[in-house]
């Protein structure tokens, strides 16, 4: 059976995005540089981790990670990544609103799944063949998969910042609503920009 991995960049206080996500602020106000500066500004220092994120053969992500549109689909939104997203394979987007698949340059096709995480994972497994499946985020989606025991390996990319969003109802922290887990440490690597920690689950 396919190995299921999950990667997420987050703050020390557990947030993977800031408030007020919009087209101008994909990760919420002030959070993009704080949480993903290691990825965008120091990519060569973290090449091994970036390559590991993109080695999967199929991906699952939440609707909020795909874009800022809420409710029924409007316009022709095709994701945050421009005409050629980095995934280069099938991506299954969890949503309550049906939409036809969106094919992008470079081999990425976004499929929109309306019948839940287990269905999205089953479709991703079929699409991945003998390759791995990655749960790409965000925190709400990872929490669903963690709570259901569907992730084999969790890779956290922890930025040395806190976002101070405690008590806000419009942001979700990793592990919110997840029952107790037993995680086995696999590896850790620290840089001035981020600490990469890998855990095995189950």
Token output for 132: 């791995």
Whole-angstrom distance, CA of residue 119 vs CA of residue 59: 13
How many CB atoms neighbour CB 194 within 10 A? 24
3-state secondary structure of 39: helix
Q: What is the pLDDT of residues 151-170, one digit of tens each?
A: 999 999 999 999 998 878 77
Tens-binned pLDDT, residue by residue, of the chain (202 aa): 899 999 999 999 999 988 887 888 887 777 888 999 999 999 999 999 999 999 999 999 999 999 988 899 988 999 999 999 999 999 999 999 999 999 999 999 999 999 999 999 999 999 999 999 999 999 999 999 999 999 999 999 999 999 998 878 778 999 999 999 999 999 999 999 999 999 999 7
Please give the CATH superfamily to which domain 4-68+80-201 belongs: Dihydrofolate Reductase, subunit A (3.40.430.10)
Residue (of 77, 110, 197, 94) closest to 142 by Cα position: 94
Map tokens 């990872």 to a residue.
142
**Domain map (residue ranges) of the chain:** 4-68+80-201
Q: What is the pLDDT of residues 120-158, one digit of tens each?
A: 999 999 999 999 999 999 999 999 999 999 999 999 999
**pLDDT value of residue 48:** 97
Say if strands 4-10 and 133-137 run parallel, antiparallel, or are unpaired: parallel
């Amino acid at each position: 059976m396919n190995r299921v991995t999950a990667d997420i960049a987050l703050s020390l206080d557990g947030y993977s995005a800031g408030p007020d996500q919009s087209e101008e602020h994909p990760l919420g106000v002030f959070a993009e540089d704080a949480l993903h500066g290691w990825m965008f500004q120091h990519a060569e220092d973290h090449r091994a981790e970036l390559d590991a994120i993109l080695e999967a053969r199929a991906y699952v992500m939440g609707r909020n990670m795909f874009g800022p549109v809420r409710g029924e689909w409007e316009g022709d939104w095709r994701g945050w990544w421009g005409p050629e997203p980095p995934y280069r394979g099938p991506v299954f987007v969890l949503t309550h609103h049906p939409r036809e698949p969106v094919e992008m340059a470079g081999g990425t096709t976004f499929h929109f799944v309306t019948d839940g995480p287990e269905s999205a994972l089953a479709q991703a497994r079929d699409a991945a063949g003998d390759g791995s499946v990655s749960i790409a985020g965000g925190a709400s989606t990872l929490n669903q998969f963690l709570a259901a025991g569907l992730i084999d390996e969790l890779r956290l990319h922890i930025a040395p910042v806190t976002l101070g969003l405690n008590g806000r109802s419009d942001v979700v922290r990793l592990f919110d609503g997840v029952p107790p887990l037993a995680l086995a440490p696999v590896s850790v690597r620290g840089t001035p920009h981020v600490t990469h920690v890998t855990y095995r689950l189950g």
